[in-house]
């Protein structure tokens, strides 16, 4: 499972060092923007403090991560590689006017194809189109020289041109990568390249026959294959070193073998060996064995590599190829560990009714990581957290790894700070300064308190069922965890534990929380709509409740300047008291399973949108011209050789998105165009 980025994100104070150095020019986080997409960069703080062997390991795993790039293009749609290679050929060899608006629009299309790993939008799954005519595109192909177009076997150049043009321009060809509309044959209607010539019913029957009733350790059926019909028979074509996608997987395995030679310990070594065995055989029992080893692998350097998430399959079985290389963020992990280690103190001192407190409470410790390279389905759009493996029985018996990617969230946060968003919605220069200086750490601590303690705190009264709050369970549960975090962020205990220096951190968090809950999260809602999503409901609930209850004392003030609305906190101490009060009530609702009170609370404070304010916020947001979706370029890891021995690995931060994509297409492209 993965956690996706939302608008306002947590990030880490520990990452600040690299660009706080006054002698360095500030690091540029956003490097490109087109259509509804922005391209960002992330840094790899702490890379230099890895040992040489660890750096070498990161380098080999990163090479393995890059070698599978073509796979995900082909998985997403059978002609994605053809479109990509055609456009890249034009980009390289077009001899006509390269300065025209049309050519710029063509280039934008190519950038979008790279960004989405194909011709369908990475988020909506709908096919997108270039803002040029088919005639102009034909002209581009005609005036392209010195490069080859990816013709199919037996196809003439003219036939190829007609076909590729139809693939790109015809809205009836492959309109959706994924179609999960009820009642349609989802296999036939989805353009993804995971099934060929079979119906949904045939696929479902095929796998139903495989499953063993009562199997407590089931393999992930269908995870690593395309299902096709051959001579009237339904068969799986496995993605293995000697099967489908073999040309790319051989390279992945080549680099994994190098990684094995510098593995950190025996557990990691045997995990990597199992992974290689799995790529060789495609055996899903081996995949499970590998995952058990991977869960046990707690080395400094870690990775994800394989066919893992099934979001791209309408039937939720077949996995996209993805890769991440990372290492522990020791400082941030220490922060989360400190909080977890003091779980009992926090529980004992919580303002909630003693009847609802846990006698013994254990904090959950999440690992915080620094990403060093992204590949496959995680590039360029990446999750901000990962929780793996996906097989439920492995999670139950052997545990799982839950990680947050702090350098990624940090980069998102930094990019948004340079975007004018904060300046638009914050009331004063002081508020902006506080957010810039203390916001990142405060956000992280909020997340730590929410995840490590908040959800695990408190207990239900005997006889109260966990689903007593029904559809209000999620927003109430998130409200509870958030309030726990907000309340404790301002506690002197945080200073005592060395997690904050004083009051600035919690003030920065309170400002941003109220701003977000009252106003800025409305940027993610369409005009006229109310709030649906659980996390958004929870934030609106807390902010609106506190605003209303504090009105008599002017705790939070609604101000207006030049027709723009702002929410300003006048009394932080009183606001903390209000958060404590609301926590008491939300815990009571949870512990007693008081459905009516939950409904009342959510419907009154968490759902409704002030439509005038909403319109104003959307107008202010639109003027900032921000792209809603972000993706990342990779840093480049460059080995330094003495003879054939690696003596160091340097990190480069290229800033040219097109150059990186062209580089990958030249140096990390191993699959034939048609697979
Ligand atoms: Zn939560």
Give pLDDT, residue 19: 39
DSSP string, 488-540: HHTSHHHHHTTS-SSSHHHHHHHHHHHHHHHTGGGGGS-TT----SHHHHHHH
pLDDT at 17 over 80: no
Residue 142 domain flag: no
pLDDT at 3 over 80: no
Distance 482 CA to ligand 1 centre (A): 7
Distance 408 CA to ligand 1 centre (A): 19
Distance 621 CA to ligand 1 centre (A): 27
pLDDT at 675 over 80: yes
Distance 194 CA to ligand 1 centre (A): 34
What is the per-residue burial (b if ≥16 Cβ within 10 Å, else e) of 240-273? bbebbbbbbbbbbbebbebbbebbbeebbbbbbb
Give pLDDT, residue 111: 98
Distance 39 CA to ligand 1 centre (A): 28
Strands (E), 22-118: 30-34, 37-41
Residue 79 domain flag: no
Give pLDDT, residue 392: 84
624-649 pLDDT per residue, tens: 998 888 999 999 999 999 999 999 99
Give pLDDT, residue 13: 31
Question: By residue range, what is the domain housing residue 475?
Answer: 2-69+244-632
Task: State whether residue 327 is helix, strand or coil.
Answer: strand
Distance 455 CA to ligand 1 centre (A): 7
Residue 480 domain flag: yes
Distance 242 CA to ligand 1 centre (A): 43
Residues 6+ apart with CB under 8 A from 535: 6, 475, 478
Q: Report residue 12's pLDDT band, with 50, 70 and 90 as the boundaries.
A: very low
pLDDT above 90 coverage of the chain, percent: 81
Distance 17 CA to ligand 1 centre (A): 29
Give pLDDT, residue 175: 97
pLDDT at 404 over 90: no
pLDDT at 123 over 90: no
- Rounded CA separation 440/443 (Å): 5
47-84 pLDDT per residue, tens: 999 999 999 999 999 999 999 999 999 999 999 999 99
DSSP string, 269-302: HHHHHHHHHHHHH--HHHHHHHHHHHHH---SEE
Distance 479 CA to ligand 1 centre (A): 8
Q: Report residue 352's pLDDT band, with 50, 70 and 90 as the boundaries.
A: very high
Give the highest mean pLDDT range of 365-369, 457-461, 511-515. 511-515
Give pLDDT, residue 643: 96
Which residues have their alpha-adjacent CB atom under 5 A from ion ligand 1? 478, 481
Give pLDDT, residue 617: 96
Domain count, the chain: 1
Give pLDDT, residue 1: 60
Distance 450 CA to ligand 1 centre (A): 6
pLDDT at 575 over 50: yes
pLDDT at 382 over 80: yes
Distance 407 CA to ligand 1 centre (A): 21
- Average pLDDT estimate for 178-205: 94
Average pLDDT value for the chain: 93
Candidates 94, 83, 67, 93; CA nearest to 116 is 83
pLDDT at 11 over 50: no
Distance 223 CA to ligand 1 centre (A): 29
Angle between helices 134-142 and 157-169 (to 10 degrees): 140
Q: Which pTM was predicted? A: 0.84
The token pair at 610 is: 């002030």
pLDDT at 22 over 60: no
Give pLDDT, residue 66: 98
Q: Report residue 660's pLDDT band, with 50, 70 and 90 as the boundaries.
A: very high
Distance 9 CA to ligand 1 centre (A): 14
Give pLDDT, residue 2: 58
Q: Kindly state the DSSP code that residue 126 receives in the 8-state scheme.
A: B
Residue 317 domain flag: yes
pLDDT at 466 over 80: no
pLDDT at 15 over 50: no
Distance 460 CA to ligand 1 centre (A): 17
pLDDT at 580 over 50: yes
Distance 565 CA to ligand 1 centre (A): 29
Residue 527 domain flag: yes
- Rounded CA separation 125/122 (Å): 6
Give pLDDT, residue 363: 73
Which comes out higher in pLDDT, residue 97 or 13? 97
pLDDT above 70 coverage of the chain, percent: 96
Task: Judge whether 605 and 540 are in contact, CB under 8 Å.
Answer: yes
HEC letters along 160-185: HHHHHHHHHHCCCCCCECCCCCCCCC
Distance 46 CA to ligand 1 centre (A): 29
Which comes out higher in pLDDT, residue 440 or 497? 497
- Average pLDDT estimate for 433-450: 91
Residue 602 domain flag: yes
Between 224-238, 354-368, 527-541, 542-556, the lowest mean confidence (pLDDT) is in: 354-368
Give pLDDT, residue 522: 93
Residue 491 domain flag: yes
pLDDT at 651 over 80: yes
Residue 391 domain flag: yes
Give pLDDT, residue 4: 56
């Amino acid at each position: 499972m993965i956690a996706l980025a939302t608008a306002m994100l947590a990030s880490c104070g520990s990452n600040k060092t690299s660009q706080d150095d006054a002698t360095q020019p500030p690091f540029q986080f956003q490097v490109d923007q087109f259509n509804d997409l922005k391209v960002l960069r992330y840094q790899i703080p702490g890379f230099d403090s890895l040992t040489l062997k660890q750096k070498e390991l990161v380098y080999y795993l990163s090479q393995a991560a890059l070698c599978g790039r073509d796979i995900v293009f082909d998985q997403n749609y059978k002609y994605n590689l053809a479109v990509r290679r055609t456009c890249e050929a034009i980009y390289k060899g077009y001899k006509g006017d390269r300065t025209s608006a049309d050519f710029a629009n063509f280039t934008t299309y190519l950038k979008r194809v790279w960004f989405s790993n194909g011709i369908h939008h990475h988020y909506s799954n709908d096919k997108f189109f270039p803002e040029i005519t088919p005639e102009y595109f034909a002209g581009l192909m005609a005036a392209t020289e010195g490069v080859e177009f990816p013709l199919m076997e037996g196809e003439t150049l003219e036939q190829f041109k007609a076909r590729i043009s139809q693939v790109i321009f015809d809205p009836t060809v492959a309109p959706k990568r994924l179609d999960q509309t009820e009642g349609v044959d989802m296999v036939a209607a989805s353009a993804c390249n995971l099934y060929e010539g079979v119906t949904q019913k045939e696929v479902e029957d095929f796998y139903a026959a495989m499953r063993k009733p009562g199997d407590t350790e089931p393999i992930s059926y269908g995870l690593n294959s395309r299902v096709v019909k051959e001579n009237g028979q339904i068969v799986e074509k496995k993605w293995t070193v000697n099967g489908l996608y073999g040309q790319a997987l051989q390279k992945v395995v080549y680099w994994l073998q190098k990684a094995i030679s510098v593995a950190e310990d025996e557990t990691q070594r045997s995990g990597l060996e199992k992974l290689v065995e799995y790529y060789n055989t495609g055996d899903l029992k081996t995949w499970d064995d590998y995952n058990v080893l991977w869960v046990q692998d707690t080395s400094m350097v870690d990775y994800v590599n394989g066919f893992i998430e099934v979001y791209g399959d309408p039937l939720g079985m077949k996995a996209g190829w993805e890769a991440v290389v990372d290492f522990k963020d020791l400082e941030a992990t220490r922060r989360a560990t400190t909080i977890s280690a003091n779980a009992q103190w926090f529980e004992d001192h919580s303002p909630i009714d003693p009847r609802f407190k846990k006698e013994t409470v254990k904090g959950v410790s999440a690992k915080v990581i620094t990403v060093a390279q992204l590949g496959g389905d995680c590039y360029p759009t990446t999750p901000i957290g990962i929780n793996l493996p996906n097989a439920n029985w492995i999670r139950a018996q052997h545990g799982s790894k839950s990680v947050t990617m702090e350098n990624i969230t940090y980069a998102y946060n930094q990019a948004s700070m340079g975007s004018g968003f904060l300046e638009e919605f914050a009331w004063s220069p002081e508020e902006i300064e506080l957010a810039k200086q203390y916001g990142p750490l405060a956000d992280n601590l909020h997340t730590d308190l929410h995840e490590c303690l908040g959800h695990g705190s408190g207990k239900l009264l005997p006889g109260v069922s966990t689903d007593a709050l029904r559809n209000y369970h999620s927003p109430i549960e998130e409200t509870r965890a958030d309030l726990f975090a907000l309340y404790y962020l301002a506690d002197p205990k945080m200073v005592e534990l060395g997690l904050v220096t004083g009051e600035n951190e919690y003030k920065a968090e309170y400002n941003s929380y109220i701003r977000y809950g009252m106003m800025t999260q409305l940027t993610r809602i369409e005009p006229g709509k109310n709030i649906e999503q659980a996390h958004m409901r929870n934030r609106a609930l807390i902010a609106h409740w506190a605003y209303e209850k504090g009105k008599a004392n002017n705790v939070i003030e609604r101000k207006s300047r030049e027709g723009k609305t702002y929410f300003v906190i006048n009394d932080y101490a009183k606001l903390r008291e209000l958060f404590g009060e609301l926590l008491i009530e939300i815990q009571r609702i949870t512990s007693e399973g008081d459905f009516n009170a939950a409904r009342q609370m959510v419907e009154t404070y968490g759902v409704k949108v002030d439509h005038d304010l909403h319109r104003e916020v959307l107008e202010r947001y639109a003027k900032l011209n921000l792209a809603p979706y972000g993706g990342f370029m990779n840093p480049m890891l460059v080995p330094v050789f003495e003879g054939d021995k690696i003596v160091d690995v340097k990190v480069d931060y290229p800033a040219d998105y097109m150059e990186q994509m062209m580089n990958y297409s030249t140096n990390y492209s191993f699959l034939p165009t048609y697979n």
